[in-house]
Amino acid sequence: MKRILKLERHLPEFAEGELARAVMSMDGVSAHMLKRFGFVEPFDVGQSVMPSVHLGPAARRNANGYEIVHRDQPKEEMTRLQSWRRMQWHGRDKIEVEDFIQRTYWRYPRTYVAGEGVEFTIMVRPDGSKVIASPAYAPVDAAESLLMAANLVIEGFGGVEFVCADLVPPLSVPIKRLNWEIFPQGRVPWAQVRKEIDRVTERASASIKPVIRARVQVVEQYGPDFAAIGRAGFDGYWVFGFTKHDLYVLESRMLDNATYVLDADWQAVSQLTKAEVINSDLSVARLIHDASWTEKLDHVLRHVLPSKAA
Q: How much is the average pLDDT of 142-151?
A: 94
Spatial strand order in the sheet of 47-49:
161-164, 20-25, 130-133, 120-124, 47-49, 176-177
Q: What pLDDT sits at residue 170?
A: 33
Q: What pLDDT sits at residue 43?
A: 93
Query: How many C-alpha atoms does 114 have within 13 Å on its Cβ side?
Result: 10
30: pLDDT strictly greater than 50: yes
Digit-coded pLDDT (tens) for 249-298: 888 776 556 888 888 878 777 777 777 777 767 777 888 888 888 898 88
Residue 139 near residue 185 (C-beta atoms within 8 A): no
Q: How many CB atoms lie within 10 A of CB 61?
A: 17
Q: What is the largest CA-CA distance in the chain?
A: 83
pTM: 0.65
300: pLDDT strictly greater than 60: yes
Closest by CA position to 249, among listed 210, 308, 296, 184: 296
Element (H, E) at 215: helix 209-220
Residue 240 near residue 197 (C-beta atoms within 8 A): no
Place 21 in a pLDDT band, splitting at 50, 70 and 90: very high
Q: How many helices (H) and strands (E) does the chain have?
A: 9, 16
Digit-coded pLDDT (tens) for 54-82: 999 999 999 999 999 999 999 999 888 88
Q: Give bridge partners of residue 287 from the DSSP assignment.
A: 259
